[in-house]
Amino acid sequence: MSTEPKAPAGFSARLQGAFDRYGRLAIITWFALWIATIAGFAVAISAGLDVDAAVRGLLDAVGLDPNAWSGGGGEAGVLALAYLAAQATKPLRIGVYFLILPVVARFFGPKAPPA
């Protein structure tokens, strides 16, 4: 028997574990959160969000050169910009997913087996 501590599970292992534990509810929650994110960004962009300023601010916040952004907010479609914004926030969305999945399962899914 090994006494070595277990290495923390990677993202793929955690995602597979969530799918194994919660079944279809995990997949439905994943896509519902993704669609809600895109819809939220689409509404914000349609309401007048200055995409160029938002991208420049995001680049500056993460330490990249904001002047590297060549614009394009005016030429791209709302859904294309919303999709790109959703992709930019993917790490945050993944964290939110793992936080809300047990709560969603408590209300909508079968009881998860004890760990």
C-alpha distances (whole Å) from 69 to each of 51, 74, 113 are 11, 13, 48
Residue numbers in the chain where pLDDT is lower than 50: 1-2, 4-5, 7
Segment 58-86, tens digit of pLDDT: 777 767 776 666 655 555 678 888 888 88
Output the pTM of the full model. Answer: 0.66
Q: What is the pLDDT at residue 114?
A: 63
Residue 72 to residue 75: CA distance in whole angstroms: 5
